[in-house]
Structure 1
Amino acid sequence: MHPRQPRRTTRRPRRQTCALAMLGAACSMMPLAAAHASGIPFATDRPQTWQFSSDFEGTYDSFGQNIEWNHDSRAFDSHGNQVAGPGTNTFVGLSTFIHYWKVPSLPHVGFNASITVPEIRTQGSQFSASGIGDPLVGGLVWYNPAPATTLGFQAYVQVPIGQDSVSTNTWSFWPSVFYDDWYGHVNVDLLVGGILRGRTLRSGHDDLSPGNTFHLNLRVGYSLSPPDNPFAIPFVGFDYQTSGGTFNQTAFMPVANSASRETAVGIGVLFQFKPNSLPFLHQKMYDQLSIQYQHSVSGRNTTLTNGILVQAWHYW
């Protein structure tokens, strides 16, 4: 749900940075119906996730595939202590298509619209569930106050039409603001947002009002090559989420220990295959691949993040 685009000119701003397209929606959509499920929203972010350039003509598209694996062997209890987790392995795929465009009267502004479809599987000795999850649809708008700087707003709606075993059965709204900039070889990428949830309605079960979520996602990367032609960018990450408790509307009472929070850190590297030199100077296509490892450092009422996240993106 958030991407970037290839620069179409050969001009290089002074303090700048690349003009490469970035990842699209990297939302971490775990089965939110489970009160103790892990998964910080947008944990798949990496450097330049929110870097967009308005230096393009016409329209372009991108497709991304995220693959997340988490080993749910440990959990945080209601006091923040580590205890044995469910022992499952959770796999989430996120398939995203994004379309980008501009309005001629707004030269430093760009737009995109996207759809993300999650594929989910949780497997353990006592439990397993798999299927197509609830899709996320929406888009974003960004503004470039300088060629290397991006500010923007995005909004998505998660539609509860996934398969029963992995659906949230809950309409939700995902608004957030983002910032990306370069400081020499250093890229700073920041997202701050939330998830506003409606009532959970599931036949044969009590009606629930899940708590809302606040999240923060920070990535700091260092380009080993000049920032206007990056290839490998090692990075560190910091992710945080806090979610309010669930209220049982049928029993008219709060669900015990349903409020959660989690802080995780990570390391990774982003590779970019951008044919921006001869003989490919005017070619719009390029690809990106990132891999990162994340681990929780604190939390409450959630399984620990302890997993690998991989992304592959193609722009054309």
Structure 2
Amino acid sequence: MFGLSSYPPAPKRMAAALAMAAGLGCGAPTQAQVTFDVIGPHEYELPVGFKPFNVFVQYATFQDSNRLWDSRSKRKDAPGADVIVGMSKYVRFWSPESHPDIGIAYEIIVPEVSIRSSANRSSSSGIGDPLTGPAIWYKPSANATLGFQTFMQVPVGDSDVGGGDVWKNYSSLFWDLQLGKVSYTADAGFVFFGKSTDADATPGTIFHTNHRLGYAMGDVIEPFIALDYESQAAWTNKATGARNPRNHELTAGLGVMFKYYGNQSLTLRYSGGIEGKNRAATNSLNLKYAYAW
């Protein structure tokens, strides 16, 4: 269904782009989940030499953060929070007439966040810090894609649910390989932080990598497995003297992608933490709806 060995018909072109749009620039607004873990199968299976089109994606993530990884990598129960994150995304895709062998996308993402704390029985909600930026890719072969993406997260969201006063940059390489019914898509990159005035310090850099392996059962249903990892360097909040030790987590998940009408898709996935340290343990249900026109 996603053959891209030549300039694809519109439905195939749209279907490939739907998968990609789901993952570009989607850093979670909390430390509860791995960066870019929203990606799904075919995320970066992308065409070149196509006419401009648009994609809208709506995400919903339900995260139970009432368990955490301690400093000895033991998972423990602890008062935490239930987090619901929605992300509304618009993406514009085009392939330059002067260089039809490459593809480009630019996107804007607006997070909607609701946090309910079980520790003090409080709740807050609002608009998180928006993200925006481009991606560029090419196809080294008919069944492979290689690209680069970079996004800025702007600290203008509601204070209760945003990321504070820190600017962030998400930069990563991404790749995709199609082997008949088997699909493999992945990325690896870093999250760089600007200096926080509140903390009088620069938060530690994050490394992340995300992998999806799917198997198509016909043209409509594709189950897949997910593997995600990230680690953040230690840093100290100079304003309070609090030290934030290095943290990391490895997660795994199972999901299924439904493709229909050529220009729409729905993806569902459960993800759970396997191993971690000094952070909330992932325990999430993730949904994604994408529409291209």
Give TM-score scaled by structure 2 length: 0.90
**In structure 2, which of residues 274, 278, 283 is the aligned counterpart of residue 301 of structure 1?**
278
What is residue 131 of structure 1 aligned with on the other side? Answer: 126
Please list the CA deviations of residues 181-235 of structure 1 after superposition, one character each: whole Å capped at 9, or x if unmatched.
1112100001001100011223xxx42321010000000000112xxxx321100
Shift in CA distance, 298/73, structure 1 to aligned 2, threshold 3 Å: same
Instruction: Please tell me the root mean square deviation across aligned C-alpha atoms, in Å.
Output: 2.3
Deviation of the 1:25 alpha carbon: 4.4
Deviation of the 1:145 alpha carbon: 2.0
Question: For residues 178 and 261 of structure 2, what CA distance do their matches in structure 1 show?
Answer: 18
**In structure 1, which of residues 247, 262, 281 is the aligned counterpart of residue 236 of structure 2?**
247
Please list the CA deviations of residues 249-283 of structure 1 after superposition, one character each: whole Å capped at 9, or x if unmatched.
346x5x334321000000000111144xxxxxxxx
Question: Which structure would you say has the larger Rg?
Answer: 1
Q: Contact 1:31–1:166 (CA<8 Å) still a contact in 2? A: yes
Question: For residues 193 and 111 of structure 2, what CA distance do their matches in structure 1 show?
Answer: 18
One-letter identity of the residue aligned with 2:157: G
- In the TM superposition, structure 1's runs of 4+ consecutive aligned residues that sit over 6 Å from their partners are none
**In structure 2, which of residues 197, 206, 213 is the aligned counterpart of residue 213 of structure 1?**
206
Give TM-score scaled by structure 1 length: 0.84
Please list the CA deviations of residues 30-76 of structure 1 after superposition, one character each: whole Å capped at 9, or x if unmatched.
344xxxx311111111111111111422x100000000001112100
What is residue 184 of structure 1 aligned with on the other side? Answer: 180
What is residue 141 of structure 2 aligned with on the other side? Answer: 146
Question: For residues 53 and 92 of structure 2, what CA distance do their matches in structure 1 show?
Answer: 6
After the TM superposition, which residues 57-206 of structure 1 pair with which residues of structure 2 at under 5 Å, given as runs? 57=51, 59-125=52-118, 126=120, 127-168=122-163, 169-202=165-198, 206=199
Question: For residues 109 and 91 of structure 1, what CA distance do their matches in structure 2 show?
Answer: 36
One-letter identity of the residue aligned with 1:30: A
Residues 21-30 or 176-185, more deviating: 21-30
Unaligned 5+ runs, structure 1:
11-16, 276-285
What is residue 53 of structure 1 aligned with on the other side? Answer: 47
One-letter identity of the residue aligned with 2:233: G
Confirm or deny that 1:292 pairs with 2:269. yes
Unaligned 5+ runs, structure 2:
none
What is residue 24 of structure 1 aligned with on the other side? Answer: 21
Q: Contact 2:49–2:102 (CA<8 Å) still a contact in 1? A: no
Q: Contact 1:19–1:53 (CA<8 Å) still a contact in 2? A: no
Q: Which has the higher helix share?
A: 2
Confirm or deny that 1:42 pairs with 2:36. yes
Deviation of the 1:287 alpha carbon: 0.4
Residues 79-88 or 38-47, more deviating: 79-88
When the two structures are aligned, how many residues end up with a matched partner?
283
Question: For residues 8 and 274 of structure 1, what CA distance do their matches in structure 2 show?
Answer: 19
Question: For residues 281 and 15 of structure 2, what CA distance do their matches in structure 1 show?
Answer: 36
